């Protein structure tokens, strides 16, 4: 069965960096794009970034563009989110999600989500 | 960005009731709309994609309809385990955007 396990969250000071990982299993990872979506405590869902199945296309929310970088290693079935210049407003649970479309140039949406990892940006 | 306006923001209903949530897009999104269920401290779960297609394993009391800008999500007979927050999401255009959520409670 599909499994996504996020890791790398924690407490970090404003302006510092953090890298999240999402280990995938139970499906052909190299055939699907992957998303990151975040949720601040008590708030709604905010899409963050997506990477295509082969890593050739990447898209970001305006709120993180220039600060966050999404990448993947298909040999390790893992997607990453490098977060630089972190701000208090980046505090949230970060979910990775498998894209619904196979071998797609244009991403679809997340059809299966991991359990999330909490990032807290605080001095 | 496409704005998704979901209503109501909260809803209280009795077991067995028919429950309806609506979602309006700020522009035509064709059929590219998801409905997710999120229970407290859990990840969102996809229930319906392409506006009306039930994800595998999802009970048939859940349904979705609509196209273009106006969409509806229905639970035909509310069950206690349906207590959750429900979100719509469009994926016709990047960035994918979510509605603000509907918190469903048992009366």
Q: What is residue A104's predicted lDDT score, i.e. its pLDDT? A: 84
CB contact under 8 A, A95 and B95: no
Cis peptide before A118 (omega within 30 of 0): no
Under the banding of pLDDT at 50, 70 and 90, the label for residue A106 is confident
The yes-or-no verdict on residue A105 having pLDDT over 90 is no
Handedness of CA B23, A97, A86, B1 (dihedral sign): negative
Q: What is the mean pLDDT of chain A?
A: 96
Burial class of residue A92 (count of CB atoms within 10 Å of its CB; 0-12, 13-18, 19+): buried
Cβ-contact B103, B87 below 8 angstroms: no
Q: What is residue B74's predicted lDDT score, i.e. its pLDDT? A: 98
Return the residue of A nearest to B6 by Cα.
A44
Q: Would you call A95 an interface residue with chain B, using a CB distance cutoff of 8 Å?
A: yes
Give residue-wise pLDDT tens across range A10-35: 999 999 999 999 999 999 999 999 99
Give residue-wise pLDDT tens across range B68-92: 999 999 999 999 999 999 999 999 9
The yes-or-no verdict on residue A107 having pLDDT over 90 is no
CB contact under 8 A, B45 and A111: no
For chain B, what is the HEC assignment?
CCCEEEECCEEEECCCCCEEEEEEECCCCCCCEEEEEECCCCCCEEEEECCCEECCCCCCCEEEEEECCEEEEEECCCCHHHCEEEEEEECCCCCCEECCCEEEEEC
The yes-or-no verdict on residue A108 having pLDDT over 90 is no
Give residue-wise pLDDT tens across range B18-47: 999 999 999 999 999 999 999 999 999 999
Q: Which residues of A2-28 are buried (b: 16+ CB within 10 A; e: fewer)?
A: eebebebbeebeeeeebebbbbbeebe
Helix (H, G, I), strand (E, B) or coil at A90: helix
Q: State the smallest CA–CA distance between residue B29 and chain A in angstroms.
A: 13
| CB within 8 Å of chain A, chain B residues 37-76 | 38, 42-46, 49, 55
pLDDT > 90: what percent of chain A? 92
Q: Would you call A109 an interface residue with chain B, using a CB distance cutoff of 8 Å?
A: yes
Rounded mean pLDDT of B8-23? 97
Give residue-wise pLDDT tens across range B63-72: 999 999 999 9
Under the banding of pLDDT at 50, 70 and 90, the label for residue A83 is very high
Q: What is residue B60's predicted lDDT score, i.e. its pLDDT? A: 97
Q: Would you call A100 an interface residue with chain B, using a CB distance cutoff of 8 Å?
A: yes
């Amino acid at each position: 069965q599909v499994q996504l396990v996020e890791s790398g969250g924690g407490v970090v000071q404003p302006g510092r960096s953090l890298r999240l990982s999402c280990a995938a299993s139970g499906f052909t990872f190299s055939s699907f794009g992957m998303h990151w979506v975040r949720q601040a405590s008590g708030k709604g869902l905010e899409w963050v970034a997506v990477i295509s199945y082969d890593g050739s296309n990447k898209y970001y929310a305006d709120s993180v563009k220039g600060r966050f970088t999404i990448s993947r290693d298909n040999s390790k079935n893992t997607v990453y989110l490098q977060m630089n210049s972190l701000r208090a407003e980046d505090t949230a649970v970060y979910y990775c999600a498998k894209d619904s479309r196979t071998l797609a140039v244009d991403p679809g949406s997340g059809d299966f989500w991991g359990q999330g990892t909490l990032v807290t940006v605080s001095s | 960005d496409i704005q998704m306006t979901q209503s109501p923001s909260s809803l209280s209903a009795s077991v067995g009731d028919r429950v309806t949530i609506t979602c309006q897009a700020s522009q035509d999104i064709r059929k590219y709309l998801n409905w997710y269920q999120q229970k407290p401290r859990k990840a969102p779960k996809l229930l319906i994609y392409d506006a009306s297609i039930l994800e595998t394993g999802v009970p048939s009391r859940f349904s979705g309809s609509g196209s273009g800008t106006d969409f509806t999500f229905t639970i035909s007979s509310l069950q206690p385990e349906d207590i959750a927050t429900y979100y719509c999401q469009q994926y016709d255009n990047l960035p994918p955007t979510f509605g603000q959520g509907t918190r469903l409670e048992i009366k």
